Chain A
Amino acid sequence: MDFNDTPEQAKFRAEVRAWLADNARLPQAGRLVRDMHLRFDEAKQWYQKKAAAGYACLDWPKKYGGAGLTPVHKVIWSEEVEKYTEPDDYFVIGIGNCGPAVMHFMPEQRRAELLPRMASAQDVWCQLFSEPGAGSDLAGLRTSARQSASGDWLINGQKIWTSGAQNSDYGVVLCRTDTSVSKYKGLTMFVIDMRQASVTVKPIKQMDRGQHFNEVFFNDAHIPDENRLGEINGGWEAALVVLMNERMAITASVPDGFAEFLKFVRRAELAGTPLREHPLVRDKLAQWYCLHAGVKASYYRLITAVAQGGVPGAEGAIGKLIAGRMNQEIADFSLQLMGEFADLHEPAAATDDGYFQDAILYTPGIRLAGGTDEIMRNIIAEQVLRLPQEPRVDKGMAFEDIPGG
C-alpha cells in the first residue's frame, strides 16, 4: 500500500505539471465557454495539443497514438489537470468506449488506421446503442443490419440519446441481424462512417437548453464487412466489452460537484454566519466529502487491480450511482443556501459563473446517461453480488415474437 509516486512517476508528474503550466488555461470568472460549438472547437484543439506533446491516451500503445504508459499515469494526469479549465474529458465516449472496442475486435491494420486519429481527436467517435424502444432493456433494440450479396451491410432504423453524434466521424453501432433467435443472440456490432448521406443526425434540445444528445436515423446506410466488430450475432458479448469500459471511464469522470461546493462553503454566508461555521452546512460538507473521497479511493483500488492484470468489473457502477445523485443534491442545497438570489440564472451575476444554476438543470441527465440509478443497482446486484435475475417474460422467446408497446 503506497500512495506516493515512484521516482519514475514523480518525474512524470513534474513533467506534466510543467507542461500544463505552459499550455493549459486556469479558470477565470467569465471564461467558462457556454456555446457548445465553441466548446467543441476548444476540445478538438486541446486534444490535438495533448497528442502533439505525447500526452494523448496515456495508457494506449504508442502505435495507436497513445503514450504507452499505465492507468496510474492517467491518474497522475487527471490529478494535475484538475485545476485547469481545459475540456480534458470531452471525448471520453469515443476514447473510453469505442477505442477499446476497436482495439479488441478489429484487425491490426484497421486499428493502426483508426486509433491514432481518434486519440488526437482528428476523428470524433460516438456510441450508437440506445433506441426509442430500447434503453434500460438495451438488447431489445430494433435497428436492423442486413448483409448483401457482396458481404457488406445495409443499416435501417433509429438510435437516440447519442452524445456528440452531430460532430462524429465514426460510430460504434449495435444492430439486429437475426430476429428468429432470442434477443441477446441476434445482435451484431459495427463501426459506421457517420459522414454518409444515409445517416441523418437530429439534435435533441435538452431541458437545460443544451444539445449534446441526438437522434440518429439510418436509411440504407452502408457498412463494409471489414467494419464488423466481432462475430455475426456475437454483438451482445462485444457490447458488454464496450459497456464495461464505459463504466470504468465514467467512474473517473462523472462530476460530483464537491469541489465547487467546498469553494462555495469557504466564502459565502447565511444570515450573517459564515457557511464554514454553520452546523447544518458542516454536516453536509462532511457527508459529501466522505462519498467524494470514497469514490476516488474506490477508483484507485480499481486502477491498482487493473494494473495488476485484473479486469474492470461492474464495480464502476458505484461511482456513477453516487456522483450523479450527489451532484444534484449539492446543486439543490447550494441554491437553497443562496435564498432568492439563487433564482437568478445570469452567469455574470450568479455565484461561480452560475455553476449551481447550471448544475441543477443538467444533473438529472447525468443520472440517466449510461444507465439509470435503478439499472446501476441491478448491475451491482446481478453482476457483482450475483443475485438471481427477475423472471423475464421474454426469456427464451425469439425476438420477433416478443410483445412490444
Chain B
Amino acid sequence: MARVAVDVVIKPEILDPQGKAIQAALARSGHAGVTEVRAGKHFELDVDGAVTDEELERLAGSILANPVIETWTVTRLADGEAR
C-alpha cells in the first residue's frame, strides 16, 4: 500500500471568488501582507501496488480535477506522512 496526495487548485485565469473572500478576511484580521489566496482541494488516496503513476494521473485529471477549470499535482507520500 502507498499513500498518494492529489492537490487541486483553480487555474490562475479562472476567477476564484472564494479565494478572494478568504484573502479579504485575512486582511481584516491583521494579515494585510497576504496579497492573494487561491482555494483548492487536497485528497489523500491509499493505493495498492497495481496502481501506476499513469493511472493516478488519469484519475486525477478526469475525476478529481476538471481540466477545464483546475490544475492538479499528484505526489506519492513517504510512509507515515500526512493524515
**Do these two chains really belong together in a complex?**
no
Give B contacts to A, CB under 8 Å: none
